[in-house]
């Protein structure tokens, strides 16, 4: 798991299988904030990354949304569950 200093990185820093809480949305335009809010991507929401890359696919509640890497950079998250591969890598690093 990441330490406290890096525990809140942007959504674009993570990939497939990560479940996380949205902590903040920073440096976003009012239009982007409105678009994200309409999709349920607001601070306090939980999301799962279904596919990393650009565009990335995330699930919020039971809805799936595609996000560009540029939009994902504005979303700060705190992972609550990492995929098995990442957890094993952390154990044996």
pLDDT per residue as tens digits for the range 22-51: 999 998 899 999 999 999 999 999 999 999
pLDDT at 3: 43
Global pTM exceeds 0.75? yes
pLDDT per residue as tens digits for the range 67-86: 999 999 999 999 999 887 66
DSSP letters, the chain, are ---GGGSSEEGGG--TT-EEEEEEE-S--HHHHHHHHHTT--TT-EEEEEE-SSSEEEEETTEEEEE-HHHHTTEEEEEEE--HHHHHHHHH-
pLDDT per residue as tens digits for the range 57-66: 999 999 999 9
Give CATH superfamily name and number for 4-92.
Ferrous iron transport protein A (FeoA) (2.30.30.90)
State the average pLDDT over residues 13-21: 94
User: Domain segments of the chain: what residues?
Assistant: 4-92
């Amino acid at each position: 798991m990441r330490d406290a200093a890096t525990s809140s990185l942007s959504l674009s820093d993570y990939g497939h299988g990560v479940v996380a809480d949205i902590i903040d949305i920073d440096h976003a335009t009012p239009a982007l904030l409105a678009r994200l809010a309409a999709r349920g991507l607001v601070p306090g929401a939980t999301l799962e990354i279904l596919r990393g890359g650009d565009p990335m696919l995330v699930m919020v509640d039971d809805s799936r949304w595609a996000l560009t890497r540029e939009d994902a950079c504005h979303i700060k998250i705190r992972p609550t569950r990492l995929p098995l591969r990442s957890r094993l890598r952390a154990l044996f690093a």
